[in-house]
């Protein structure tokens, strides 16, 4: 977030995160108790053995039955430890997964509320990472870090307690190890963190590369880039592998140093304690129990340090998630009390762009004081070179973005005063690349709305002339489309989006280069469909080919973020200005080129 430091961002983020854990307060308390029971049952076991050794085996006192009793107790403790560990892990996972599921839902809803400017800044690849791996890290925080803090912290505490209860002097000697442990931990911690971060970032680069390549596979194959891309992939893969190996090496090194330290301590206890036993200052059972506890002492320390990594990545994830969560959509709903409702029946469909200034980024203005007024039911074409600002103008009418200054009004009402659900019911947009969802054709036409009758959607397809090819499909309207409708031609996809318009009946229709990708035959089909759907609607058609809008009531010519000329096709030609130049240019391209066959001297025309 601009103007906020990472730290305070992180604090706010964690506070928000803890709010997600609030409903699971009781579960967490239960987890703490389960850990306590399980640990105590675990740690009492060496104590029992010590009792057997000191009271029975070494003193030679009889009463085998008491040994049985103690054996039974030992088994009981093992079972108790098992049951409570099981309960604890289950409860913890339930809470963790519950928290993360809610988080994922909220994040998705939040992202879908965002304005287009948000998506300009957040590429979809990184949002996918946010939804999947960042939320998973949060789960690991609750199930791993918290559980380790509770369980391992508690167990350290208990072990030290038991050791002191057994023999204070020996326990004190052992505690002298703490500074050494601390030094090793700090030393390795930095190394571990660096290598962990490095391998994570290598992995995310690998994934991003893969995603990009899958999306551009057609391009890669037509340009025969397979080898180049494979080489680049190999490089990414190699770097990731190296980083992972390095991470594994440091982890192993760290764990083994701990083991060595543990074994040295055991040796020390055997040496110091053994001497005490021989001099009969210490009972043998105590020594046994001591060694058992020392062995268990290192495990929680080790696992706490390992959670350090997770904690680090939790920080990163929380910051990233919070940066998204704390971002309000740029395009705001009108306040409920000032919102203006326009009745759909009473709507005329007048559109006014008044003195529009607009920039995507401060400092680079794209539209400079543009004025354009459309009468109800008028059919207006917009032409202009690439980058003139045509799509930007449309984006303002649909409120993908808001104007920097000036206003866009529908029937005299500033569209910022209209509830967005109303606005988007009034304004229908067909873009160059129509978006289809995976699902059946019929559902793509009615956009999964169960309240729209199947017959209505089919009728819409007939109206725009899509039924001709749909009826030829094996499953007809129920044909399942794969991702983005990749099984259909561009024209077929576009016809489906036209049928959508017929079904949803917006009063205002916008086409942004909807026919740019189509061959001339399909364009004719689309033209016919347009003729059908534009009746009675205010229609704004941005055209790539001038022929598409020649019959428009009016043509507005855009140039560098302004309307340069405006009028009917005839009037504009008569003006002999910018439009006339564009028109002549387009006509030139249309002339049939004549090729000479040099060998035979024949003329062939294509
Ligand atoms: N999302 C965006 N972020 C920043 N600049 C943009 C964005 N979209 C378009 N532009 C810029 O705005 C200008 C007008 O673009 P656009 O409205 O798409 O033109 P047209 O549709 O007429 O080809 C161009 O200079 C383009 O680079
Ligand atoms: Mg455009």
Region 369-379: mean pLDDT is 94
Residue having the nearest C-alpha atom to atom 17 of ligand 1 = 389
Cα 332 to averaged position of ligand 2 atoms, centre (Å): 24
Q: Which of 384, 391, 400, 558 to mutate to test the pocket of ligand 1 (most atoms within 8 A of CB)?
A: 391
Cα 118 to averaged position of ligand 2 atoms, centre (Å): 19
Report the chain's mean pLDDT, rounded to a whole number: 86
Whether residue 396 has its Cβ less than 6 Å from ligand 1: no
In whole angstroms, what is the distance from residue 180 CA to residue 192 CA?
18
**C-alpha 534: how far from its chain's center?**
38
Cα 330 to averaged position of ligand 1 atoms, centre (Å): 18
Cα 518 to averaged position of ligand 1 atoms, centre (Å): 22
Identify the nearest ligand to the CA of 119 by its number.
Answer: 1
Whether residue 364 has its Cβ less than 6 Å from ligand 1: no
pTM higher than 0.85, yes or no?
no
The per-residue pLDDT for range 386-397, each reduced to its tens digit, is 999 999 999 999
Q: Which of 392, 396, 559, 561 to mutate to test the pocket of ligand 1 (most atoms within 8 A of CB)?
A: 392
Q: Are 362 and 374 in contact (CB under 8 A)?
A: no
Region 272-293: mean pLDDT is 87
pLDDT above 70 (res 321): yes
pLDDT above 60 (res 597): no
Whether residue 115 has its Cβ less than 6 Å from ligand 1: no
Band of residue 403 on the pLDDT scale cut at 50, 70, 90: very high
- Kindly state the helix (H) or strand (E) to which residue 1 belongs, with its residue range: none
pLDDT of residue 59: 64
pLDDT above 70 (res 360): yes
- Point out the least confidently predicted range of 27-31, 61-65, 422-426, 521-525: 61-65
Residue having the nearest C-alpha atom to atom 5 of ligand 1 = 360
pLDDT of residue 238: 96
Q: Which of 366, 403, 561 to mutate to test the pocket of ligand 1 (most atoms within 8 A of CB)?
A: 366
Identify the nearest ligand to the CA of 366 by its number.
Answer: 1
pLDDT above 60 (res 594): no
Give exposure, 374-400, as e/b (b: 16+ Cβ within 10 Å): beebbbbbbbbeeebbbbbbbbbbbbb
Cα 429 to averaged position of ligand 2 atoms, centre (Å): 13
pLDDT above 50 (res 381): yes
pLDDT of residue 606: 35
Band of residue 231 on the pLDDT scale cut at 50, 70, 90: very high
Whether residue 119 has its Cβ less than 6 Å from ligand 1: no
- DSSP result, 138-202: HHHIIIIIHHHHHHHHHHHHHHHHHHHHH-HHHHHHHHTTHHHHHHHHHHHHHHHHHHHHHHHHH
pLDDT of residue 310: 81
pLDDT above 80 (res 589): no
pLDDT of residue 7: 67
Q: Are 9 and 315 in contact (CB under 8 A)?
A: no
Band of residue 77 on the pLDDT scale cut at 50, 70, 90: very high
- Point out the least confidently predicted range of 17-31, 209-223, 568-582, 592-606: 592-606
Q: Does residue 554 come out as left (phi exceeding 0), alpha (psi in the -120 to 50 range) or beta?
A: beta
- Residue 92 makes CB contacts below 8 A (sequence gap 6+) with 27, 31, 142, 143, 146, 147
Give exposure, 29-39, as e/b (b: 16+ Cβ within 10 Å): ebbeebbbbbb
Cα 189 to averaged position of ligand 1 atoms, centre (Å): 48
Whether residue 392 has its Cβ less than 6 Å from ligand 1: yes
Whether residue 360 has its Cβ less than 6 Å from ligand 1: yes
Whether residue 390 has its Cβ less than 6 Å from ligand 1: yes
């Amino acid at each position: 977030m601009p103007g906020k430091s990472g730290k305070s961002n992180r604090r706010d983020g964690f506070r928000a995160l803890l709010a997600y854990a609030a409903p699971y307060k009781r579960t967490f308390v239960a987890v703490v108790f389960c850990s306590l029971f399980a640990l105590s049952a675990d740690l009492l076991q060496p104590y029992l053995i010590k009792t057997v050794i000191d009271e029975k085996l070494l003193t030679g006192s009889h009463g085998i039955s008491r040994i049985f009793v103690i054996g039974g107790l030992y088994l009981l403790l093992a079972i108790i430890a098992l049951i409570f560990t099981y309960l604890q892990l289950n409860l913890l996972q339930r809470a963790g997964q519950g928290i993360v599921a809610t988080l994922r839902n909220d994040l998705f809803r939040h992202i879908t509320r965002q304005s287009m400017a948000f998506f300009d800044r957040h590429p979809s690849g990184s949002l996918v990472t946010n939804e999947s791996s960042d939320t998973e890290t949060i789960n690991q925080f609750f199930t791993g870090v918290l559980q380790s803090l509770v369980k391992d912290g508690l167990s350290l505490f208990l072990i030290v307690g038991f050791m002191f209860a057994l023999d204070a002097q020996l326990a004190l000697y052992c505690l002298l190890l703490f500074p050494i442990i601390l030094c090793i931990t700090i030393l390795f911690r930095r190394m571990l963190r660096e290598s962990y971060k490095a391998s994570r970032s290598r992995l995310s680069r690998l994934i991003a590369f893969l995603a990009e390549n899958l999306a551009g596979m057609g391009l890669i194959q037509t340009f025969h880039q397979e080898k180049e891309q494979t080489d680049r992939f190999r490089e990414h893969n190699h770097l990731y592998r190296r980083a992972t190996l390095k991470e594994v090496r440091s982890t192993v090194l760290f764990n083994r140093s701990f083991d060595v330290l543990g074994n040295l301590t055991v040796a020390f206890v055997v040496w110091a304690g053994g001497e005490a036993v021989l001099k009969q200052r210490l009972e043998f059972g105590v020594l046994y129990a001591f060694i058992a506890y020392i062995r268990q002492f290192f495990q929680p320390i080790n696992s706490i340090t390992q959670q350090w990594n997770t904690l680090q990545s939790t920080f990163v994830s929380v910051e990233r998630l919070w940066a998204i969560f704390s971002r309000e959509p740029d395009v705001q709903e009108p306040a409920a009390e000032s919102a203006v409702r326009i009745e759909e029946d009473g709507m005329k469909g007048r559109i006014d762009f008044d003195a529009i200034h607009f920039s995507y980024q401060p400092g680079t203005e794209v539209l400079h004081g543009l004025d354009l007024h459309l009468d109800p039911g008028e059919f207006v074409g917009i032409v202009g070179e690439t980058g003139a600002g045509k799509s930007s103008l449309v984006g303002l009418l649909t409120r993908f973005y808001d104007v920097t200054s000036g206003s866009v009004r529908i029937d005299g009402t500033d569209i910022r005063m209209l509830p967005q659900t109303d606005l988007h019911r009034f304004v229908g947009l067909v873009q160059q690349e129509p978006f289809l969802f995976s699902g059946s054709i019929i559902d793509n036409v009615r956009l999964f709305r169960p309240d729209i009758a199947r017959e209505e959607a089919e009728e819409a397809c007939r109206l725009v002339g899509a039924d001709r090819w749909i009826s030829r499909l094996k499953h007809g309207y129920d044909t399942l489309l794969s991702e983005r409708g990749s099984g259909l031609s561009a024209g077929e996809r576009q016809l489906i989006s036209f049928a959508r318009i017929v079904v949803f009946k917006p009063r205002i229709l916008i086409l942004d280069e909807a026919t740019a990708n189509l061959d001339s035959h399909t364009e004719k089909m689309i033209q016919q469909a347009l003729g059908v759907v534009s009746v009675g609607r205010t229609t704004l058609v941005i055209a790539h080919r001038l022929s598409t809008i020649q019959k428009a009531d009016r043509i507005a010519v855009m140039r560098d973020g302004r309307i340069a000329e405006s009028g009917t096709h005839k009037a504009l030609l008569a003006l002999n200005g910018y439009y006339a130049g564009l028109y002549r240019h387009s006509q030139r391209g249309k002339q049939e080129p004549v090729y000479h066959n040099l060998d035979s001297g024949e003329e062939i025309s294509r």
